[in-house]
Amino acid sequence: MKYRTLGKGGLRVSAVGLGCMGMSHAYGAPADKKEMKWLMADAVDMGYSFFDTAEVYGTPDNPHDNELLVGEALAPYRDKVVIATKFGLTFDNPTGAGPHALIPDSSPCAIREAVEGSLRRLRTDHIDLYYQHRIDPAVEPEVVADTMSDLIREGKVLHWGISETTEDYLRRAHRVCPVAAVQNRYSMMARWHESLFPVLEELGVGLVAFSPLANGLLSGCYTADDTFDPRTDYRASMPQYRAESFEKNRDLFRFINDLALDKHITYSQLSLAWMMCKRPWIVPIPGTRRLCRLKENIGAADVELTADEVRQIDQALDSMEMSEVFGGSAIKKEVAEAVQ
């Protein structure tokens, strides 16, 4: 496995990480826990050292299911792995069909409560990388960063990051307590955060790319005939999985297929390699429940694309018709209005 460094604090992680959310949340009913523990053990054996979870990745019956699973699975390997988790969100109406609206709370007392819960569930005395899951409009970034600074001094958190941040928020937070990584949605179909790249370069902040395969669509494993349970699977309402979207994305699929064939790699490997070859500080965290996909995704770290090849791919994507792609759950409107 190849490794990359996030932030100036030297957080070393595998070049490809494992997003664990889908084992418990948003991609169908939770997977068999024993199988997922075996899968994470296999991941460690392969060289994966970066595992991503969050306190809200669970079910209505077990809201913290994913942290509990990750904590149990990785306990035997704790000194070999980097565990990232997140604070600051609850779901509105979690028993309904998703995606659920998000309720942010990044007040210092809420962060303190969250970190203690995550430490217990993850069976550890420190969190390697602790993200603010979404910006809370009621709390200034300096307040959040100051709380992170305290937790780092106490040894409960080693590095911190922000998910779905803006440039202004990142700069203000970073001045108080250096940010190691920003975790944003990023894929060939979701490139709106590329405008943040110069700022990340300037500040020495890494980018952890979640949904790097556009919620699985760019794996090449799905067709317009696939259906998903709206009670447990967010893909049932994602625009890229509508039947008409497969027709609209025909040129994109053909483009990826032709490039992948030319390189003798898979759809997923091309999509992941494209972003990793853009910057040495980009780390994708695709999720999976299957051993074959785990092996496939890690293979992307060995794919080399030249700067010219990456530029040509970008130019093609810029001019290509694509469907709308899921952009994330909304912050609950009433909450946002109440704090303005």
By the 8 A CB rule, do 186 and 208 touch? no
By the 8 A CB rule, do 189 and 209 touch? no
Crossing angle between the packed helical segments 307-318 and 250-263, to the nearest 10 degrees = 170
What's the Cα-to-Cα distance from 29 to each of 230, 232, 270, rounded to whole Å? 11, 6, 29
The one-character DSSP state at 44 is: H
What is the rounded distance in angstroms from the CA atom of residue 207 to the CA atom of residue 19?
A: 14
Sign, CA torsion 38/39/42/43: negative
The one-character DSSP state at 239 is: G
By the 8 A CB rule, do 18 and 12 touch? no
- Residues annotated as catalytic are 57
What is the rounded distance in angstroms from the CA atom of residue 161 to the CA atom of residue 7?
A: 9
337, two tokens:
């209005």
β-pairing, 206-210 vs 82-87, is: unpaired
